[in-house]
Amino acid sequence: DAGVTQSPTHLIKTRGQQVTLRCSPKSGHDTVSWYQQALGQGPQFIFQYYEEEERQRGNFPDRFSGHQFPNYSSELNVNALLLGDSALYLCASTLYRGPGTDTQYFGPGTRLTVL
């Protein structure tokens, strides 16, 4: 049973560039959430995708966008990178089928460094 996977593991970009991060959900899961974890802080919700649509969004600017594919995998895109975008980006997946089935499982994350 494959867990949540993310690629790449590490990424170094310069200010103003654009980046795409990828996530494959746990087998059987159909909902993907993205979180940003700055050093020494808890994960902050970016957005969630279900049925190829953004279902909910946290307090992040429009520079952050995403996509979900028919196979439930997802991408996170960040445009016009800022130094403050340096963080660990985590993907979490779940298969929601009613109360009690919404446990989120996290991937290993992508460490983004913006210089």
Partner 1 sequence: GENVEQHPSTLSVQEGDSAVIKCTYSDSASNYFPWYKQELGKRPQLIIDIRSNVGEKKDQRIAVTLNKTAKHFSLHITETQPEDSAVYFCAAHISGSARQLTFGSGTQLTVLP
**Which residue in the set 23, 43, 74, 76 belongs to the binding site for partner 1 (CB under 8 A)?**
43
Q: What's the min distance (Å) between Cβ of 35 and partner 1?
A: 8
Which long-range contacts (C-beta less than 8 Å, at least 24 apart) are formed by 94-101?
A: 94/29, 94/31, 94/33, 95/28, 95/29, 95/30, 95/31, 96/30, 96/31, 96/50
Q: What's the min distance (Å) between Cβ of 114 and partner 1?
A: 19
- Size of the residue set binding partner 1 (CB under 8 A): 27
Q: According to the binding rule CB under 8 A, does residue 17 interact with partner 1?
A: no
DSSP-based three-state secondary structure for 67: strand
Q: Which of residues 88-107 bind partner 1 (CB under 8 A)?
A: 90, 92, 98-100, 102-107
In 3-state terms the chain splits into helix, strand, coil percentages (rounded to 5) of 5, 50, 50
Q: According to the binding rule CB under 8 A, does residue 13 interact with partner 1?
A: no
- Note the residues at the interface with partner 1 (CB under 8 A): 4, 33, 35, 40-45, 48, 50, 55-56, 58, 90, 92, 98-100, 102-109
